[in-house]
């Protein structure tokens, strides 16, 4: 059994029977645990909604958003000349 990170969170998740069968089969076919499938699914969900998945990604996203307004203002002022 894999060791959990010290700050790991646990949640109880309920699946309907059809979904459980599909997820279980996917796990067996891909030789992944339910945890590995869940990690992948949640990373994809965060990416879909453009949300950072870790501190490094959050800092990059924050830096991009704080630089963007300044760059936009410069581009507008150049177009008026």
Question: Which pLDDT tens digit goes with each residue over 54-73?
Answer: 888 888 888 888 765 656 56
Tell me, yes or no, whether 30 lies in a domain.
yes
Whether the pLDDT of residue 80 is over 60: the answer is no
Q: How far apart are CA 37 and CA 40, in angstroms?
A: 5
Pair 46, 59 in one domain: no
pLDDT, tens digit, for every residue of 7-49? 889 999 999 999 999 999 999 999 999 999 999 999 999 999 9
Range of the domain at 29: 17-50
Number of domains in the chain: 2
pTM of the model: 0.65
Tell me, yes or no, whether 41 lies in a domain.
yes
Pair 25, 46 in one domain: yes
Pair 22, 46 in one domain: yes
What pLDDT sits at residue 2?
A: 64
Tell me, yes or no, whether 11 lies in a domain.
no
Pair 26, 42 in one domain: yes
């Amino acid at each position: 059994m894999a060791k959990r990170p010290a700050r790991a969170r646990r949640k109880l998740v309920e699946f309907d029977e059809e979904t459980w069968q599909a997820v279980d089969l996917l796990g067996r076919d891909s030789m992944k645990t339910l945890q590995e499938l869940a990690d992948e699914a949640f990373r994809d969900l965060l990416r879909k909604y453009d949300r950072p998945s870790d501190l490094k990604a959050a800092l990059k996203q924050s830096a991009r958003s704080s630089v963007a307004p300044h760059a936009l203002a410069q581009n507008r002022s150049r177009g008026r000349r």
